Amino acid sequence: MSQNIENIKPCYPLFEQDEYQSLFAGKKSRFEEAHGDSKVKEVFDWTTSAEYQELNFKREALTINPAKACQPLGAVLCSLGFEKTLPYVHGSQGCVAYFRTYFNRHFKEPVACVSDSMTEDAAVFGGHANMNDGLQNAYALYKPEMIAVSTTCMAEVIGDDLQAFTNNAKKDNFIPTEVPVPYAHTPSFVGSHVTGWDNMFEGFCRSLAPEAKEVGSNGKLNLVTGFDTYLGNYRVLKRMMAEMGVSASLLSDPSEVLDTPADGQYRMYAGGTTQAEMVDAPNAIDTLLLQPWQLVKTKKVVTETWGQPGSALNVPIGLEATDEFLMKVSELTGKPIPESLATERGRLVDMITDSHTWLHGKKFALYGDPDYVMGLTKFLLELGAEPTVILCHNGSKKWEKALKKVLDASPYGQNSEIYVGCDLWHLRSLMFTNKPDFLIGNSYGKFIQRDTLAKGKAFEVPLIRLGFPIFDRHHLHRMTTWGYEGGMYIVTTLVNAVLERLDQETMELGKTDYNFDLVR
């Protein structure tokens, strides 16, 4: 082969060489028994038809590429948001390898998470011994101040009792009694990653703040984000509170541990919500739930245990939702909204005005988690765009009804279709039969984008990467999608995707380049 140290080729040009092409052709002819190109095209074309879509939507016992992840993934993210806390998964090693690599690929950052490596014997006899040894080793090796325990399918199927296991581990001196061990049962076969985040946060509340105190006595607000992987969102919340002069605790803040600098020092634990902040949380004026559709158990703790209002707000994506958030903060604290934030709002309005001619009437399909999809849909309507296909695998019927109400109230939502409990293979069918101008979603949408490729032209339904996970582009996890700042990023992303598509469609010399303009 022609690969050598003086001329290193990456995967794509390397495998284009004659030697590899010959190997591929031989493998295909001798071993694959593949159909010919004409038959492949025939079947592909059929899968883009309305006839196939009808069959596709009749599926009952099969999910193909679900637009969600499993509960323990969310529990790990929640745990990473607490100071000097080690996420610990009671289950098999393979599960934890999945969680770590999933976050590694998104954040491009090492992720600390351990497992007690349950195998066949633990599946038969229970994982009590694994828990004892695992907690002892994790504490000795990694010196955490808290260990947050969640579960995988294996532990849940056999019915392991985390409360009994963690209590016994302390009683038998496998771990010091003073080390908090919040825990949550997070079976992967129900719910999704957002459910796991909510369950784990409830575990932190039970462990560190299990009872009501004096509501409002500390003069602070608590902010609970739920599952969110845009690190800029945590930072923009803290910045807005600082500009308003509001004392606030961001409960579960992973923005530092997932974005540590490359300065020669490894930080296994960086930043995060302190134990003291969680202990003091019941004394706050209120706890604002910023993704309320996923924070069901959290709301119950806040309202029933802590005795706070537990104000549920729309996720602060876009103009109106950010206005509502800041006005609620001002109402609760008596602090005025400062001129700096009013100016920032005006800049967002200016950007919307500058770009509205390009976004008005454009048709978008989008998918993701319930609160994110709700917030982004509202913002698209504010921009005059039309969210024609909206898919949420982990949404509920109640959520669907609430979103339908939002769509019905806008002239740009009249032709929208909502799909709850559907997967990305359902969405693929819709991209051919109900073809929007653009698709908004995570990296998994690139395979749908590829399938909509028109020969010799641009993608018919280009993918705009917003959401989680983003594996195939770098540094988007550092961006901000919340607040006025986040609105600016979303507007910039959307309008430049529209303009990029227009350039691709109008660059053919002497045919379409009459509209290949320098000024847009």
| Catalytic residue set | 153, 157
CB atoms near residue 328 (< 10 Å): 16
Write the DSSP string, 451-501.
HTBPTTS-BSS-EEE-SS---SSSSGGGS--SHHHHHHHHHHHHHHHHHHH
Q: Give the integer Cα–Cα distance in Å for 411 and 361.
A: 11
Q: Give the integer Cα–Cα distance in Å for 96 and 117.
A: 9
Specify whether the CB–CB gap between 290 and 326 falls below 8 A: no
The sign of the dihedral angle between the CA atoms of 314, 320, 325, 329 is: negative
Q: Give the integer Cα–Cα distance in Å for 426 and 444.
A: 13
Structure tokens at 104: 């590694």
CA distances for 260 relative to 264, 265, 268, angstroms? 11, 9, 9
Instruction: For 337, list phi and psi in degrees, rounded to 5.
Output: -75, 120
Specify whether the CB–CB gap between 272 and 254 falls below 8 A: yes
DSSP state of 142: H
Q: Give the integer Cα–Cα distance in Å for 47 and 432.
A: 9
By C-alpha distance, which of 186, 190, 187 is closest to 198?
186
Instruction: For 235, list phi and psi in degrees, rounded to 5.
Output: -70, -35
In single-letter form, the type of residue at position 10 comes to P
| β-bridge partners, 86 | 147
- HEC string of 394-450? CCCHHHHHHHHHHHHCCHHHCCCEEEECCCHHHHHHHHHHCCCCEEEECHHHHHHHH
Q: Give the integer Cα–Cα distance in Å for 519 and 402.
A: 41
Instruction: For 242, list phi and psi in degrees, rounded to 5.
Output: -65, -40
CA distances for 443 relative to 36, 386, 464, angstroms? 30, 22, 9
* 3-class secondary-structure state, position 250: strand
By C-alpha distance, which of 164, 151, 194 is closest to 294?
194
